[in-house]
Amino acid sequence: MELKDIFKEHSDAVEQRFKDLGGNVMELKYRLEEVEQKNARPRGGVKIEQSWGAQVAESEDVKHLRDQKYRPGSAARVELKAITTASGSAGGLITNGTDNEIASLARRPILVRDLLTVVPTESGSVDYAKQTVRTNNAAPVAEGTVKPYSNYGWTKANVPIRTIAHLSKLTRQAMDDSSQLAGEVDSEMRYGLALVEDTQILMGDGSGENLSGMMPQATSYVLPSGFTLPANANLVDKLGAAILQQLLTNYTPDGIVLNPVDWMTMRMLKDAAGGYLFGDPGDDVPPVLFGLPIVATQAMPVGSYLLGAFKPQKLYDRMAPEVLISSENADDFEKNLLTMRCEERVGLAVRKPGALIKGTFA
């Protein structure tokens, strides 16, 4: 066999090999696309026709293109049919996706509890000794003379444990159809308790089943003797005077509770040159005044404040927030409803009310 015949034979074999390889690669691509489309298709009530990849791979124009060995200038035109058809109503082509993230309403930060010392308890009430008298008569004495007596007195104080609770209804279908919903309702129920607890710690008046909160027991602000506020005193000046009053009681303050409106009013105070006192708006300014951290919460009314030593005050946890679900409440079984109950048991001891100063900016 002549050399040119051998060369032609190998050339034809290589050409055929490339032809087969090209077809196999294209076929593999189309089959992969078909698998992806099948995996992404909606389930239930929708019929899936031949995939776009299969339509392209099996069209006569594409077959002809392969036969032409994909030469330059070759082309194929394929008209694709819709790959989904409705099995029911005319709107069947439109399917609903599901986003499992639930769009919840805004939640207020829970901050007041973090100021206190939290102590677990297993009792229905807590007793503690509270000092009521301190008469210090210590004095220098001469040898052989009578020493003076000092007088101290204590009384027993009792902290009742209160229950904070609420109920909520939920359909069983909604619970079955969304596992996220169960967790969301659980979270909402616990948040509802924390929201009430936050307000009770600050404002509870002790009547009925209310906690005895810090604001009703705190000492009211009085301008310290010998101290004068400037004529144009702002909110910061007034807080400074209240901190001084608290320091004069010999308690060391560890925090300030304000409404966010009042804190932002302070944050936007400017000097005579128009510069911000607490740094430019672009600065990350920690909420601190006179070295004391500020808790800005809507549980505190606008225009009011509470400052002082919070750590000596104690919150007793008898039962952490608990969520229970039942279908046997009232007519829940008949109506396919579930009742959720969330409750906690806590007690608050304002052990040192003299360590707290309350006031208003008016």
Domains of the chain: 17-93 (no CATH), 112-128+159-360 (3.30.2400.10)
pLDDT at 261: 97
pLDDT at 1: 59
Residue 213 CA to residue 202 CA, distance in Å, equals 5
Residue 263 CA to residue 235 CA, distance in Å, equals 9
Residue 359 CA to residue 362 CA, distance in Å, equals 9
pLDDT at 328: 85
pLDDT at 80: 42
The one-character DSSP state at 270 is B
Q: Which tokens go with 243?
A: 């901190």
Helices (H), the chain: 3-40, 52-58, 60-67, 172-177, 179-203, 214-217, 235-247, 260-267, 332-335
pLDDT at 329: 85
Exposed, middle or buried, 171 (CB in 10 Å: 0-12/13-18/19+)? middle
pLDDT at 214: 97
- Asked whether 88 and 53 are in contact (CB, 8 A), the reply is no
Residue 173 CA to residue 241 CA, distance in Å, equals 59
Q: State the 10-residue block means of pLDDT for the chain, 362 residues long.
A: 61 62 57 56 47 53 52 46 45 57 71 92 93 94 96 95 93 75 79 93 96 96 94 94 94 95 95 91 90 94 96 94 85 88 94 95 88
- Asked whether 70 and 148 are in contact (CB, 8 A), the reply is no
